[in-house]
Amino acid sequence: MTPRAWAAGTLVVLLVLLAVYAAVSIPWHRPPAPRADQLAALGRLPGEQVARAREFHSALRPGSYGAMGIGLIVALVLGLTPAGAWLVELAGRPFGGNWVARAVLGGLFVTLAGEVVTLPFAAWRHTVVVRYGISTQGWGAWSVDLLKSWAVGAVIGAVALLGFYTITHFAPRWWWAFGAVGAAGLVVLLSFVLPVLVEPVFNKFTPMADGPLRSSLIELADRDGVPVRDVLVADASRRTKAVNAYVSGLGPTRRIVVYDTMITEATPDEVVSVVAHELGHAKDGDVLVGTVLGALGTAVAVIALYLLGSWAGLLRLAGVDSIGEPRAIGLMLAIVSVAGLLAGPAQAFLSRRIEARADEHALVLTGDPATFEAMQRRLGTVNLSDPDPPTWEYLISASHPSTVERMAAARAYARGER
């Protein structure tokens, strides 16, 4: 059997594994959130606030979709013309065209090109979130954050590029196998490492101060049977007025993080309700599910890339001999960008199902749908989210059920509907 046939066979096996794992780990049943309740909830929100949230999102759209469109065009130009290969050669030239220099610097160069052309759109978005009072950052702090995220991306990217092209260099026929294992391993590693090493680059985390709130959160976690070592507070207020909480990390790195804005903006009962949602993620192992799906999906992507890379027409367009050479980085990024756009709605769909289950967990754990609904109203108000976004936008990008869906789920739960 040829390496190509093995790759095709492995791809099929991984796709079956992915489908089976998704089938058993994703909560396909969605707790009821009747449309009638959604409309009733929407009707009770102050009209002025709903209008302002919608205005805010229309103001953001040109920046968001502009960046998406231009980013895609640049990726396609760099990938489907010899421009990407030329950029990689340019980056490697001071080093005599050495393959390591081409791989790492060329890769960062091509990625940076995409970042730079979308920068004006990011700046535009920043002016909008400042104008609507969501962001509290001036241009200085905004630029520092941007540079930090580029630096983090460059470090992770350099490791990934060096690893990937070392494999393609030394195993030109079988790199897909080692690459799939390596890329999946990197996803798992990042899942452990990001919360510990990367999140502190952007925020300071301090254990929540002793007091009635902390006690009730620890008591809640105990009652839920979820081992939580600590509840941390992030100093999000130095960047945003938005409120949020999340759970990240696996095993020993798992932590529940509450924004400091949440503690000042919401009532203690509402904070309990949000943390109950986060405990749902911990209890159902949602971070693990996301990591496994991410690792399998990444392995599938590497092998699909290898198989697509034997398509002579694509290679000719990019002016390269093989998808495994550093000069083909542009082509690879173009394929990844298109695949990412196509996979986005599916990822959002899975995420919404998982989020709806965590909401249900919060309702069961606290037994307090009224506070849950109040908390959703608060989240929507403070974060200026569109409580009932347009269907097309919801389908392509919403990672959570909408505010009115979440309020309706609380109402249905209160009536005993499951």
How far is the C-alpha of 404 from the C-alpha of 99, rounded, in Å? Answer: 54
Establish whether 355 is an annotated binding residue. yes
**Min separation Cβ 104 and Zn ion, Å:** 36
CB-nearer residue toward Zn ion: 57 or 406 = 406
Piece in contact with Zn ion (CB under 5 A), picked from 26-34, 223-231, 302-310, 352-360: 352-360
**Min separation Cβ 400 and Zn ion, Å:** 7
Task: Please classify residue 116 by burial: count the beta carbons closer than 10 Å to its beta carbon, then call 0-12 exposed, 13-18 middle and 19+ buried.
Answer: exposed
Piece in contact with Zn ion (CB under 5 A), picked from 188-196, 211-219, 250-258, 347-355: 347-355
How far is the C-alpha of 238 from the C-alpha of 205, rounded, in Å? Answer: 13
Q: x/- string (CB under 5 A) for Zn ion, residues 305-344?
A: ----------------------------------------
249-284 CB burial, b ≥16 within 10 A, e <16 = beeebbbbbbbbbbbebbeebbbbbbbbbbbbbbbb
How far is the C-alpha of 397 from the C-alpha of 348, rounded, in Å? Answer: 6
Tokens read off for 350:
């899975």
Count of residues that bind Zn ion according to CB under 5 A: 2
**Residue 104 lies near Zn ion (rule: CB under 5 A):** no
Establish whether 277 is an annotated binding residue. yes
Establish whether 281 is an annotated binding residue. yes
Piece in contact with Zn ion (CB under 5 A), picked from 51-59, 163-171, 260-268, 349-357: 349-357
How far is the C-alpha of 374 from the C-alpha of 379, rounded, in Å? Answer: 9
Order of all β-strands in the sheet with 245-248: 205-207, 231-234, 255-259, 245-248
Catalytic positions, written as ranges:
278, 359
How far is the C-alpha of 129 from the C-alpha of 151, rounded, in Å? Answer: 24
CB-nearer residue toward Zn ion: 74 or 362 = 362
**Min separation Cβ 281 and Zn ion, Å:** 5
- Conformational region of residue 45, where left means phi above 0, alpha means psi within -120 to 50, and beta covers everything else: beta
CB-nearer residue toward Zn ion: 168 or 385 = 385
**Min separation Cβ 254 and Zn ion, Å:** 14
CA 137 remoteness from chain centre: 22
**Residue 358 lies near Zn ion (rule: CB under 5 A):** yes
CB-nearer residue toward Zn ion: 80 or 354 = 354
Give yes or no for a contact between 145 and 272, defined as CB atoms under 8 angstroms apart. no
Q: Which segments are annotated as binding site?
A: 277, 281, 355
Residues that bind Zn ion (CB under 5 A): 355, 358
Q: Which segments are annotated as binding site for Zn(2+)?
A: 277, 281, 355
